Amino acid sequence: MDRTPLAPQPEGLTSHVDAFLRYLRVERRLSPVTITNYRRQLSVVEQILTELKITQWQQLDTAIGRNIVVKSRRMGLQAASMALRLSALRSFCDWMVQQGELPANPIKSIQAPKGKKRLPKNLDVDEVSQLLNIDSGDPLVVRDRTMLEVMYGAGLRLSELVGLDVRHLDLDLGEIWVMGKGSKERKIPVGKTAVSWLKRWLEMRELYEPEDGAVFISTQSGKRISNRNVQKRFEQWGIKQGINSHINPHKLRHSFATHILESSGNLRGVQELLGHANLSTTQIYTHLDFQHLASVYDVAHPRAKREKS
């Protein structure tokens, strides 16, 4: 957190900020927390402008805006906090344009530096086996084991797992149909183990008189299970099974992608299984070198080879 003492700001800067915050509170009815965040960020911007001998907001231009970014970085501001600061300043300048105080927003084109993307740590194969080493006749346990098997076996998103209906299953062919992001449909193969557990759970599911066609339901209400309930149950099973890392749906999806990619090297195939629109998105889910894998594909796949002239 930035704890640099704030120098007194010129009245020409502060009066406009006060009016903007009043607008947010009275007309926009934003929460006190949001207004406090805006006030904190704009106060630091005022401090930086004062150091630059800027006394009026009308002096602000894109070059000075970039200078604010540079000075903020030198003050130790991280990428996420920088984005918040620029967002607050951008909103303020939009308001100043509306008030006729600025001809245009000089911050509009300035983007915050991108932070490093942190890849989620996947489970290794032994950890997955340890997690899935669950066997019980208790319907609740059978349901949970089935969810874990399907999540890891098909690499589903949490929303896709929760949204799965019985009509989406073709257990004879070992396929499930899901509706992914952007209402894009895709069929995914599932292994024999997942199919076996699905059959076992579907028999027990009828005991709870489900209200709709949802595959996974609450054993208390018979209604479709919630995202939060799935997250909670996965976390609890991670603890029960002695897994050292936090277990969540995304980690199982990531582990699925990593294990398939490590064994096959087929980045495009994993892209289709995960339902990614762009190949570059698939690389985020893996620890493997994207350019190397793409090169391997382009050399090895018949449809990727260039025709000889």
Looking at the DSSP bridge assignments, the partners of residue 170 are 175
Q: Which of 53, 42, 48, 49 lies closest to 17 in space, CA to CA?
A: 42
Q: CA separation (Å) from 193 to 144, 178, 237? A: 14, 19, 18
Sign (positive/negative) of CA torsion 2, 83, 159, 145? negative
> Which tokens is 126 given?
């032994």
- The H or E element spanning position 89 is helix 79-98
**Which residues, including other chains, have CB under 8 Å from residue 84's CB and lie 6 or more apart?**
37, 41
Catalytic residue set: 157, 181, 250, 253, 276, 285
Q: Which of 223, 230, 151, 142 lies closest to 188 in space, CA to CA?
A: 151
Please give the span between the terminal C-alpha atoms of the chain, in angstroms, as a whole number. 61
SS3 label, residue 206: helix
Contact status, residue 73 vs residue 112, Cβ threshold 8 Å: no
Write the DSSP symbol of residue 124.
P
Maximum Cα–Cα distance across the chain: 75
